[in-house]
Chains A and B, each alone.
Chain A
Amino acid sequence: MSMVRRPGVLRLAPALTVGILLLPIAAGLVGTLLPAFGYLPAIGGRTFNLDGWRRLADYPGFGTSVAITIGTGVLTSALAVILAFGCCASLHDRPWMRRLGAWVAPILSTPHSAIALGLAFLLAPSGWIARALSPWLTGWILPPDVATVGDPAGVALVLGLLLKEVPYLILMIVGALNQVQARAHLAIARALGYGPAEAWLKAILPQIYPQIRLPIYAVIAFSLSVVDVALILGPSNPPPLAVLAVRWFSDADIQFYFPAAAAAILLLLLVIGIIAAWRGFERCAMLVGRRWIARGGRGGIATTAATMATLLFGVTFALSVLAIAGMAVWSVADQWRFPDALPQAWSLANWMRRFDGLAGPAWVTVVVGALATGVALCLVLACLENESRGHRRPGAAALWILYVPLLVPQVAFLFGAQVLLVRMNLDGTLAAVVWAHLIFVLPYLFLSLADPWRAFDPRYAQTAASLGASRMRVFFAVKLPILLRPVLIAGAVAFAVSVGQYLATVFAGNGRVATLTTEAVTLAAGADRRVIGAYAVAQTLFPLIAYVGAVLLPALLFAHRRGLRGHQ
């Protein structure tokens, strides 16, 4: 039975969204796949061949590079999962766990590159930790010759990635908890004699794992293919595969495009392979886990492990805070030499000097972020509203489509996308950069907003309709005000994602669009820490302001509406 209604324009929203997500990625992948097999007429490659692959394999550090890529990627993912699970298992019954979102939001909204820059300063042998402990504890007057940042094994890189991945996974887990009867099941498990951590691991984790599977895959893909953090913290001789590809793409010798494209495609295959392996590992873990649960032991191993994981998470959290603090101190420092724990001379002159240089990129960052977030918000709201009007039920396929931009390595499709933009004469324009950011902003916005939106009590809309309100009125006068805080927070998340984009801006903007992040990574090569500090602080500030605004604005607007607090 259908009602007589005009088929609204909302029906187009899902198709439009999918198109914006998938078409550029597909086109870009083709544009990178062809050169990988030798086809790029512009520089003379007119026949298909395997030369690119051969040159890739002949690179002296090829084996090590692949090993580093896989090693750091798998280690980061495994540690992130273990720490996130352990932390949630230990702390789930603390009351402030619900507000954990507010605690980790500042870390999550800080771009990866800013945290990496801060961590680089923390960990260096002449860095903050060494300075704070020297010479009274260590006896060092000169920094020791020890490899920390850029170490050949990639440990610094793993740490730098963990700083953001663990909070991200924890947030996903907390979100998934709302979908299951967590409290009821926990009460039962504890009544049966299991300690809190063990109860969580045995009763809750298996239930929520399907929902955090995709975020975990996103973490795997990111750890394997990250570029900006690897540039700052990772080894350079040889570097991980993604950095190698970017290096070769920008090499003066144009013939390097072919092995660069081959490296990018190899990276894509690695991501697919490791995710597939992870799936296999899930099955094994399931079997082992079932037996562990069936044994019924109520021992303390799980609890101890969870506690250790929580302590480690605390360490990473502290490191994140210190990393940003370090950058803030540098931005107002004048002279700061080893082994002083704090600068000998302070000055605001640095900010004065930086201000002109910062103003331009800051403005561009805000404009691009606002536009990308705005467009994404319209599309996502249209899709979600379309869904709640019953026109389309999203299946698992929809979720996978959303995750595609997060699973395909950026370097694998951005070069192809750049050639496409040049052909359409759009490269270097603000529109191209906004569009490139949109591809990555959309999934995060959708994922942040979908659950709160779907959890909206449908009877409010039914009641409003029965009171004579049209669907438009229901949307604007009932749904949006009640869901204002989740909408604004999702917008803040999206804005933060846009601020942190590096490769997308570089490729789509053809270098003519300078954002705070591209400037920071460029200037990292210039290595005046006072400059880096100022840019890192600016990078952190804007998403933070957006997030604080998202939290404060509804609180101010609805200061006298206690009922809305339950919706947040």
Chain B
Amino acid sequence: MRVRTLAAAVALAALSVAVSAQNLDWNDIVAKARGQTVNFNAWAGDEKSNAFIQWAAQEVGRRYGVTLVHVKLKDTAEAVTRVVAEKAAGRNAGGTVDLIWINGPNFLAMKQQALLFGPFTQALPSYARVDTTTIRSNVIDFTIPVDGMESPWRRAQIVFVYDGKRVTNPPKSVAELLEWAKKNPGRLTHPSVRNFLGATFLKQALWELAPDPAALQRPATDDNFAAITAPMWTWYDALRPYLWRQGRQLPENGPAQRQLLNDGEIDMLVSFNPAEAAVSVHAGLLPDSVRTVVFARGTIGNTSFVAIPYNAAHKEAAMVVADFLLEPATQAHAQDFRQMGNFTVLDFAKLSPDEKRRFDELPKSPALPTNAELGTTVLEPHPSWMTRIANEWEKRYTK
């Protein structure tokens, strides 16, 4: 692990030299991008994200003459399917997908099948401000080295949102969560394990309860899977009867889960967005009594990236958009909980005082956790753990 960090540091130093040398190329790219259309394939299940993408479209249109089209997806995998279908039909240029909001297993799939364009992040001027030292998920995507094949734009971390009126002493670990559920049967649930958030709920429990957490950074093997996941399955078997609908029915995704909290069917939900509570109250999607709690030992977090398919029709404009997403003004706008409420991927140390002030002036809310409360971000386990957990879950609980 040490060697890796050193190598990454050296590479970073080399890149920063390369970036300034390549600033000339950047102007060429911007010039070529003018007038192009970017088909940004992004999950559309969240209204706030959709609105943010619309705002971004207006900005890049105004400043760079690039037309950004939000291709709405129910699932990021749809975009992967599309690129695969195009490759199957022999369309190696002029593809219909220019930019994908992607990370984790989807990124792994595309990287392995050589479906991505890049490396390209070193050509983006704004990439210089990205935090690549303390926010490790910016360069290691689910234990896969990013290698410049995707550019970060937003961060996520597991938090729990609860109704302050009905929950006075929120649990601060998965063990306390089990105790709480036993006292309040039917008032807790999690999204389907096929959904990313639902799988991460299990991963959080896995990390907290695993005998050897370090093993999670390495691929799961047939030998160690059963042993490492055993405590988690024990915990889950104990928890399941006390879940909403006795765990036999699960909401499809995060927003569906949020609707249950709003309807009063549950009292607590898991979310990837630390600003979820503040954002939802502002949008009228949750009552204003909701609060956020982060587990004491730390919770799993990851970064969302944008990637460019190998056959994209408008690669230059896609790169311009990727760069725009990393500008401090854009990142501050995104972190504003009235817009999207996503915590930034930038390194405050690399920002100028003016740029830092944008973040300090953002509005506050009682439902919003402070940076201190967010504590340690735990790295995502290797994707193979999630795939196996999902399969094992289906084997155990899909009858």
Which A residues form the contact surface with B (CB < 8 A)?
40-43, 59-61, 64, 124-126, 142-143, 145, 147, 150-152, 235-238, 247, 249-254, 334-335, 337-338, 357, 418-419, 422-423, 425, 427-428, 510-512, 514, 519, 521-523, 525-529, 531
Contact = CB atoms under 8 A, between A and B. Distances in A.
A338 B263 contact: yes
Nearest to B256: A527
B255 A526 contact: yes
B89 A42 contact: yes
Interface stretch (B80-88, B117-125, B339-347): B80-88
Given A250-B78, A427-B96, 8 more contacts: A42-B89, A43-B88, A61-B399, A236-B250, A238-B398, A252-B76, A510-B82, A527-B253
A147 B245 contact: yes
Contact of B77 (A147, A251, A335): A251
Given A250-B75, A425-B91, A525 B256 contact: yes
A135 to B, nearest CB: 12
A112 B147 CA distance: 46
22 contacts: A42-B84, A42-B89, A59-B394, A61-B399, A64-B398, A126-B265, A143-B265, A145-B246, A236-B250, A237-B192, A238-B398, A252-B80, A254-B84, A335-B284, A337-B263, A337-B264, A337-B287, A522-B73, A527-B253, A527-B255, A527-B256, A528-B283
Contact of A235 (B77, B249, B259): B249
A338 B264 contact: yes
In this complex, the member of B74, B84, B285, B399 whose beta carbon has the largest number of chain A beta carbons within 10 angstroms is: B74
A511 B395 contact: no
B96 A510 contact: yes
B262 A422 contact: no
Contact of A254 (B76, B78, B81): B81
Nearest to A252: B77
Interface in B100-141: 105-106, 109, 113
B249 A151 contact: yes
A511 B72 contact: yes
A526 B113 contact: no
Contacts of A125: 265
A525 B96 contact: no
B192 to A, nearest CB: 6
Interface in B383-399: 387, 394-395, 397-399
B397 A526 contact: no
Please classify the interface of chain A as helix (H, G, I), strand (E, B), loop, or mixed, using the class held by over half of its residues. Answer: loop
A525 B77 contact: no
Interface of B: 39, 41, 44-47, 50, 71-82, 84-91, 96, 105-106, 109, 113, 185-186, 192, 194, 244-246, 248-250, 252-253, 255-256, 258-260, 262-265, 283-285, 287, 387, 394-395, 397-399
Contacts of B246: 145
Contacts of B253: 525, 527
B96 A519 contact: no
Nearest to A512: B71
B366 to A, nearest CB: 19
A118 to B, nearest CB: 15
A235 B249 CA distance: 8
Contacts of A422: 85-86, 88-89, 91
Nearest to B72: A522
A428 B96 contact: yes
Nearest to B387: A253
Contacts of A41: 88
A60 B263 contact: no
A414 to B, nearest CB: 12
Nearest to B83: A254
Contacts of B85: 42, 418-419, 422, 427
A124 B266 CA distance: 13
Contacts of A145: 185-186, 244-246, 265
Contact of A525 (B255, B265, B285): B255
B285 to A, nearest CB: 6
Contacts of B248: 147, 152, 237
A528 B264 contact: no
A511 B89 contact: no
B261 to A, nearest CB: 11
Given A126-B263, A150-B249, A428-B96, A254 B80 contact: yes
A345 to B, nearest CB: 9
A423 B91 CA distance: 8
A419 B71 contact: no
Contacts of A519: 72
Contacts of A60: 394-395, 398-399
B281 to A, nearest CB: 11
A418 B47 CA distance: 29
Nearest to B79: A511
Contacts of B398: 60-61, 64, 237-238
Contacts of B186: 145
A250 B39 contact: no
A36 to B, nearest CB: 16
B327 to A, nearest CB: 25
A360 to B, nearest CB: 11
A334 B19 CA distance: 49
B252 A529 contact: no
Nearest to A531: B47
B263 to A, nearest CB: 4
A247 B78 CA distance: 10
A512 B39 contact: yes
A504 to B, nearest CB: 16
A252 B82 CA distance: 11
A64 B399 contact: yes
Given A60-B398, A512-B96, A525-B256, A237 B250 contact: yes
Contacts of B75: 250
B179 to A, nearest CB: 19
B42 to A, nearest CB: 11
Contacts of A249: 81
B72 A152 contact: no
Contacts of A40: 88
Given A147-B245, A511-B71, A250 B255 contact: no
Contacts of A42: 84-85, 87-89
Nearest 5 A/B pairs, CB to CB:
A42-B88, A126-B263, A61-B398, A145-B186, A422-B89
Contacts of A522: 44-45, 72-74
Contacts of B44: 522-523, 526
A77 B34 CA distance: 56
Contacts of A151: 249
B47 A526 contact: yes
A125 B284 CA distance: 21
A152 B96 contact: no
A243 to B, nearest CB: 11
B105 to A, nearest CB: 5
A53 to B, nearest CB: 18
Nearest to A519: B72
Nearest to B113: A254
A423 B113 CA distance: 20
B381 to A, nearest CB: 17
Contacts of B387: 253
A526 B77 contact: no
A147 B243 CA distance: 13
B96 A523 contact: no
A126 B264 contact: yes
A247 B75 CA distance: 10
A250 B394 contact: no
Chain B CB within 10 A, most for which of A147, A254, A425: A254
The listed residue with most A CB atoms (<10 A of its CB), out of B248, B249, B394, is: B249
Nearest to B82: A510
A336 to B, nearest CB: 9
B113 to A, nearest CB: 7
Given A422-B85, A522-B74, A237 B249 contact: yes
A22 to B, nearest CB: 23
A152 B264 contact: no
A238 B284 CA distance: 33
Given A252-B106, A419-B89, A525-B45, A143 B249 contact: no
